[in-house]
Amino acid sequence: MKKIETAFYPPLPVQPRLQFLRSITGEEDMGKKEQGAFERFLSGERPPSLKRIGRSYDIGAVKGRIYISDRYFKRILIIDLEKNEFDYIKDKEGWGALADPSGIWVTEDDMKYVADMKRKQVVVFGRDNKFLRSYGKKGQFDKPLDVAVYKNRVYVCDVNKHMIIVVDKNTGKTIQKIGGIGDEEGKLFKPTHVKVDLEGNIYVNDNSNFRIQMFDPKGNFVKTFGFHSDTLGGFARPKGLDIDRDGHLYAVDIAFENVQIFDDKTTNLLLFFGGFGPEPGSMYLPNSVYIDYKNVKYFQKYADKDFKVKYLVYVGNMLGDNKLNVYGFGNWTGTQLPEMEENKFEKTGGQEKSK
């Protein structure tokens, strides 16, 4: 297997908080190889080609597995970290057939909620990846781009209705609407992504207002992250977002081709990472970010021996050769920092304020 180059954020010689670990695009990145001509001759058949990620739109995970909503293949891809192989949710016909999946939310007990733009529904698959139910009666949703789940509520991000439609998990009925078109605080214009944190606070990518808005569990506006700008701390084309256990907001910008991390209390920028280019850790039209505390053991081996990974950060790229970038957030535990290779990663670096 080829040697994996890495990068640190902030760039060396500053003490790093993030390290790029590796990227995954196809089964070959998991160590799997296609049979050669001689093996095919002996077996008498040609095996299917190795599975790959087409366009990584959104990401979810449970212990041992990563789920990717793939806009190119219009499927939910499963990366099995234990078996080092790819698979797909196989419902192709009937009530579980996906037409144009976008956002995905995976619960702690491995239930998959998938927003489907063409079906105008949210489709639910169980732990066995079989269809369970769908939400969205005629007219309830117009173009659901993303979905989040908290307790007995399902939060559906509808880009055409400019709102988050809150649905009762048991009845499927709409119980609340958050937003509505506008640029005032609490209003939304073309929202694309929604997340709910451990306390039930709701974060929405208010895409065409160039900001992330936070609402409390009752749907009341709390505060805004970011602003319309081409400078750090602002947004040009914000997309996916996630929140770590300390409340820090991670937000993708598909134009900047990076991820910015914001302080939960001050809303100030703490750190950014990524950037366009051929360097390790670079991004190409990133659309999603997902924080994973469950699967560190599968990736710690790619970290520097003196870098202790606390959690993983996945970034899904829509284009390019590296469709899923894996970064580790953690702490440098060594007495010395690794030597800096000239200024190779300077332009994709970061800045961090004390926490």
For 3-43, the DSSP string reads PPP-EEESPTTSPPSEEEEEEE-BGGGGT-----HHHHHHH
What mean pLDDT do residues 240-259 have?
Answer: 97
Write out the two tokens for 144: 């659901």
Q: Quick check: 42 and 273 in contact, CB under 8 A?
A: no
Q: Quick check: 249 and 212 in contact, CB under 8 A?
A: yes
Q: Quick check: 62 and 106 in contact, CB under 8 A?
A: yes
> How many CA atoms within 13 Å lie on the side-chain side of 32?
20
Residue 215 in this model has a pLDDT that exceeds 90: yes
pLDDT tens digits for range 58-81:
999 999 999 999 999 999 999 999
Q: Using 50, 70 and 90 to split pLDDT, how confident is the model at 49?
A: low
Q: Using 50, 70 and 90 to split pLDDT, how confident is the model at 344?
A: very low
User: Which residues lie closer than 8 Å to 310 by C-beta, 6 or more apart?
Assistant: 293, 296, 328, 329, 330, 331
Mean pLDDT (the chain, rounded): 90
What mean pLDDT do residues 113-132 have?
Answer: 97
What mean pLDDT do residues 317-339 have?
Answer: 91
Residue 39 in this model has a pLDDT that exceeds 60: no
Residue 225 in this model has a pLDDT that exceeds 90: yes
Per-residue pLDDT at 20: 98
- The angle formed by the CA atoms of residues 108, 112 and 113, to the nearest 5 degrees, is 115
Report the alpha-carbon distance of residue 69 to residue 56 in Å, rounded: 6
Report the alpha-carbon distance of residue 336 to residue 13 in Å, rounded: 10
Residue 21 in this model has a pLDDT that exceeds 50: yes
Q: Using 50, 70 and 90 to split pLDDT, how confident is the model at 99?
A: very high
Q: With pLDDT > 70 as the criterion, what percentage of the chain qualifies? A: 89
Residue 26 in this model has a pLDDT that exceeds 50: yes
Residue 48 in this model has a pLDDT that exceeds 60: no
Write out the two tokens for 297: 């053991």
Per-residue pLDDT at 171: 97
What mean pLDDT do residues 308-326 have?
Answer: 97
Write out the two tokens for 113: 């909620």
Per-residue pLDDT at 95: 87
Q: Quick check: 319 and 55 in contact, CB under 8 A?
A: yes
Residue 270 in this model has a pLDDT that exceeds 70: yes
Per-residue pLDDT at 8: 95
Per-residue pLDDT at 41: 45
Residue by residue, DSSP assigns 120-155 as TEEEEE-TTS-EEEEE--TTT-S-EEEEEEETTEEE
- Dihedral of CA atoms 208, 210, 214, 219 in degrees, nearest 10, equals -20
* Domain parsing of the chain, residue ranges: 1-49+247-355
pLDDT tens digits for range 146-205:
999 999 999 999 999 999 999 999 999 999 999 999 999 999 999 999 999 999 999 999
